[in-house]
Amino acid sequence: MDYYDTISEGYEELHKEEQLKKIKLIKKFLKPKPTNKLLDIGCGTGLTTIPWKCKRYGIDPAKKLLAKAKSKDKVIYKEAKAENIPFKDNFFDIVISITAIQNFSNIEKALKEIKRVGKDKFILTFLKKSSKKTKIDKLIKKHFKIKKIIEEEKDLIYLT
The whole domain housing 133 covers 2-8+16-23+34-159
The CATH number of residue 75's host domain is 3.40.50.150
* Stretch 13-29: mean pLDDT: 78
pLDDT digits (tens, 9 = 90+) for 71-99: 666 899 999 999 999 999 999 999 999 99
SS3 of 141, please? helix
In sequence order, what are the beta bridge partners of 59?
41, 78
Q: Is residue 108 part of a domain?
A: yes
pLDDT digits (tens, 9 = 90+) for 33-71: 999 999 999 998 888 888 899 999 999 998 877 887 866
Q: How many domains does the chain have?
A: 1
SS3 of 11, please? helix
pLDDT digits (tens, 9 = 90+) for 102-118: 999 999 999 999 999 99
How high is the pLDDT of residue 1?
Answer: 47
Q: Is residue 29 part of a domain?
A: no
pTM: 0.88
Mean pLDDT, the chain, rounded, equals 89
Q: Is residue 76 part of a domain?
A: yes
Degrees, nearest 5: CA angle 138-140-142: 65
- The Cα 75–Cα 72 span in angstroms is 9
How high is the pLDDT of residue 15?
Answer: 52
Q: Is residue 28 part of a domain?
A: no
Degrees, nearest 5: CA angle 149-154-160: 25
